[in-house]
Structure 1
Amino acid sequence: MNLNQISIILQNNKMKRRNYKYFVCACVLVYIYYFFGVSDYLFSKSFEDDFDYPLNVDIRSIVSDVMLGKKISVTPINYYPYRFLTNSGKCSTIEKLDLFIVVKSSMDHFGHRNAIRQTYGQETLPGRTVKTLFFLGIDGQPKSDLQRRIDQEMAEYKDIIQIDFRDHYYNNTIKTMMSFRWVYEHCSTSDFYLFTDDDMYISVRNLLDYVHERDEASQTEANPSKETNEVESSGVTRTADLDKDQLFAGYVFKSAPQRFRSSKWRVSLDEYRWNKWPAYVTAGAYVLSNKSMKVMYIASLFVKHFRFDDIYLGIVAKKVGVTPTHCPNFYFYKKAYSKLNYKDVIASHGYGNHEELIRVWNEQNTVV
């Protein structure tokens, strides 16, 4: 083999190596493009300029008409076809409640529920009327050992509302909105409603102090609304005041959809095509006024379902004109504990340890 041939072979090998590098780089770029959902980010629509999540109707007017008992021409699109398998008479003999606590619980979280019953679910706050119920789904096996244990728990405590949908992470919106339906239909007289997961620390005392301070401040600054029960001289044109007495508060986030294909929180453009979420309150714990609970539930009947419940409530709030209020005393993470550190805490996440919840709650509620 002469030098010329050797040179040609070396050049060919070098070209093959270069082409191989190009091929590998192209594969990496394609993988990144696909894995990180680059196309979804590129082709998402502007939230600020073009948010039109269905239904694209004037939901505020619909809610106003429903609250005034008027007939509406728009058919609801989001009435969940599930039944309450149990009920409770906790509200049947009470004209007024200060606070109703809705605890979203998993079926097998018996220890969580017992810890709550020993702490913030005691319903014994002096001078305040507070009630608590747990909301569960089903496992699809009516004769399972798990269901038998829940049946025994319900018979003993009578504080569980079970609903016939499959209890699963991606069904949290169903659990949330069925809970809204229950309180709307069976317990609509409470001043405020706290929705919380069963692994939260809650201070009912701090929560009630917070909402009552806001009430006093809003009453001081109150101005007549242009929408308030307007009656025209020609007849009976009325509109409900949807802006008065509104409160939807907790830890507020402003963020964008996760498009990574490996993420459990991935959202495709088919599900949600905008580049940002509306402002939303993290689902761990949030409080609503009586008016906001009713407005949000009625509005949800006309807003397309979305599988993440905190995002869904943010969308509903956006559609009906309710502004989420950020309260820094709600913690979506686990706030480091000390007795002084928790003096003003309303809610803190991460209390799956039952003994820890009981210890912290008792220390915070011991009268010295």
Structure 2
Amino acid sequence: MRHRKYKYFACVSILIYCYYYLGVSDYLYSKSFKDNFDYPLNVDIKPLVADVLSGRTPSVAPINYYPYRFLSNSGKCATLHKIDLFIAVKSAMNHFGHRNAIRRTYAQNKVRGRNVQTLFFLGIDRRGKSDTQRAIEKEMAEFKDIIQMDFHDDYFNNTIKTVMTFRWLYEHCSKADFYLFTDDDMYISVKNLLNYVDELKYSVKDRNDTDFEMTYTDNDVTVATEDSNLIFAGYVFKSAPQRFRSSKWRVSLEEYPWNRWPPYVTAGAYVVSNSAMKTMYVASLFVKHFRFDDIYLGIVAKKVGIKPTHCPMFHFYKKKYSKDAYSDVIASHGYSDHEELITVWNEQNNS
């Protein structure tokens, strides 16, 4: 009898543990994304975005403006008449080797007849004038390709880094046809990316919401923004929130009560068109902060009516290398070995 009681107690304890730590109740009580999704602001933000892009005061005040400053700047865009592609690299402070490997590979701007520019975006640490910060300042003086922002550079601040990067581009470099956002441990083929966006420009008509057309003023010229110009492309996921209490990626019902994420593009690398960059940045002013940057951009895109385009040539994992296997690869994750990145890039681009 006593043995059965112990077994009963053990079973109940295991069930309670599983129910609590596996987040079973969170899964059970999640709201239906299909029927009830309405992330704050709980209004139609499309007219608000159109107002801002047109230079008008929106009827509802923004709710999400990060109070951070740019500690450095760049004049890369100021004197250029046309930029085909701007590459914004999210970089960690101490990734000096990553940045140097990128400068030796896809940041070389060696695409015949196309203007490609690259900048690195990073935050600060809490230690003030550390050895790392002094080394970064020396690096900035030498290469003049780093935009540093005064927020703590941390994994859970990636949304801040992403939106601050969008802000810098919106305010200082709004003329590029396309913008590639990438982590600093990715292999990138600029040639394949340009080929892809050239094809994509002519194949996305009627993909986005047909009721979202805007005009905005850019350097005193009125420009029509058509649905087919709102391109947001990369490796698209359709998945559910992680509710396990022991998980680094746990999301509570209080933080996000719905049972599915909007379709989102994995944050390792993705490309947006000029009008999508402007639209998504302005839309972010009216969309509540969320700590995972790829999910946040998926929410922003959903709120403003942009449908992410899936491109299997963006690899969120490290694709096994061979010369033929990489012939159409745009991005591949996991290149923390700098010499490996340089070797692969040279073989793909110098043959």
Question: TM-score, structure 2 length as denominator?
Answer: 0.94
Query: Shift in Å at residue 229 of structure 1?
Result: 6.5
2:119 match: 133
- Partner of 2:301 in structure 1? 317
Output one character per residue of 1:121-167: Cα deviation in whole Å (capped at 9) or x when no partner: 11232200010000000012221111011011001000000000000
Q: Alpha-carbon deviations, 1:263-313, whole Å to 9, x = none?
A: 111101111000000000000000000000000000000000000000000
Q: Distance in 1 between matches of 2:191 and 2:310?
A: 19
Displacement of 1:48: 0.2
Q: 1:154 to 1:227 in 2, by over 3 A?
A: closer
Residues 313-349 of structure 1: per-residue CA shift (max 9 Å, x gap): 0000000000000001000011110001000000000
Q: Is the 8 A contact 1:339 1:363 kept in 2?
A: yes
CA deviation map 1:182-240 (0-9, x unaligned): 00000000000000000000000000000011123457x89xx666579xxxxxxx996
**Partner AA of 2:77 in structure 1:** C
Alpha carbons of 1:164 and 1:152: their partners in 2 closer, same or farther (altered >3 Å)? same
Runs of 4+ in structure 1 deviating by more than 2 angstroms, as ranges, are 216-219, 225-230, 238-242
Contact 1:170-1:307 within 8 A present in 2 as well? yes
Aligned match of 1:347 in 304, 323, 331?
Answer: 331
Distance 1:40 1:108, change over 3 A: same
Partner of 2:279 in structure 1?
295
Matched, 1:286 2:270: yes
Contact 1:65 1:239 in 2 (8 A): no
User: Is 2:92 the partner of 1:117?
Assistant: no
Contact map agreement 1:250 1:328 (CA 8 A) in 2: yes
Q: Indicate the residue corresponding to 2:245 in structure 1.
A: 261
Partner of residue 219, structure 2: none
- Measured after TM superposition, the shift of residue 19 of structure 1 is 1.4
On the 8 A contact 1:180/1:297 being kept in 2, the answer is: yes
Q: Who is 2:168 aligned against?
A: 182
Output the aligned Cα RMSD. 1.8
Q: Counterpart of 1:126 in structure 2: which amino acid?
A: R
3-state SS of the aligned residue for 1:192?
Answer: strand
Contact kept in structure 2, 1:120 and 1:204, CA below 8 Å: yes
**Which residue pairs with 1:78 in the alignment?**
64
Residue 173 in structure 1 maps to residue 155 in structure 2: no
Q: 1:160 to 1:20 in 2, by over 3 A?
A: same
Q: Secondary structure at the match of 2:291?
A: coil
Q: In structure 2, what residue type is equivalent to 1:44?
A: S
Aligned partner of 1:64 in structure 2 is 50
Identify the residue that residue 337 of structure 1 maps to in structure 2. Answer: 321
Consecutive unaligned residues in structure 2, runs of 5 or more: 216-221
Q: How many angstroms does 1:18 deviate by?
A: 1.4
Which residue does the alignment assign to 1:98? 84
Q: What amino acid does structure 1 have at the position aligned with 2:291?
A: R
Whole-angstrom CA distance in 1 between matches of 2:81 and 2:15: 64
Q: Give, as a single letter, the amino acid of the residue that structure 2 aligns with 1:299.
A: A
Separation in 2 of the partners of 1:217 and 1:165?
Answer: 39
Measure, in 2, the Cα distance between the counterparts of 1:229 and 1:303.
19
Partner of 2:14: 28
| Aligned twin of 1:142 | 128
Give me the whole-angstrom Cα distance separating, in 2, the residues matched to 1:310 and 1:271. Answer: 16
